[in-house]
Amino acid sequence: KQEVTQIPAALSVPEGENLVLNCSFTDSAIYNLQWFRQDPGKGLTSLLLIQSSQREQTSGRLNASLDKSSGRSTLYIAASQPGDSATYLCAVSGGYQKVTFGTGTKLQVIP
């Protein structure tokens, strides 16, 4: 059974800092990996999707990498802003509907 872990559970950084969020998974036979953002009391917004054949994806200040062999993904946020404060979740797809979510990293960016 796939297990997805995100450490740390919470992170607080000063504005402007570059930061890395981590996601690890136990089964490397994945279809894709997605990073989501969730604001308090809201749904999830897809940030980046990396297919199993890819190594990284970029969108603006966000860069996500994938290393299937080691079961790890990172989300890099450059020049963090207070508006980046949210919970970030990674989700690993084992194909079709088998998506396993991590419990998230709650990020606070302090002005």
Binding site for another protein (CB under 8 A): 31-32, 34, 36, 41-46, 49, 51-53, 89, 91, 93, 95-97, 99, 101-104
The string of DSSP codes covering 29-55 is: --SEEEEEEE-TTS-EEEEEEEETT-S
CB of 85 to another protein, least distance (A): 18
Nearer to another protein, 42 or 55 (CB): 42
Helical segments of 1-111, H only: none
Indicate the residue among 82 and 95 with the shorter CB distance to another protein: 95
3-state secondary structure of 87: strand
CB atoms within 10 A of CB 10: 10
Q: Which of 54, 50, 24, 13 is nearest to 35 (CA)?
A: 50
Closer residue to another protein, CB minimum distance, 45 or 81: 45
Least distance (Å) from another protein to the CB of residue 75? 15
- For another protein, the closer of residues 41 and 111 by Cβ is 41
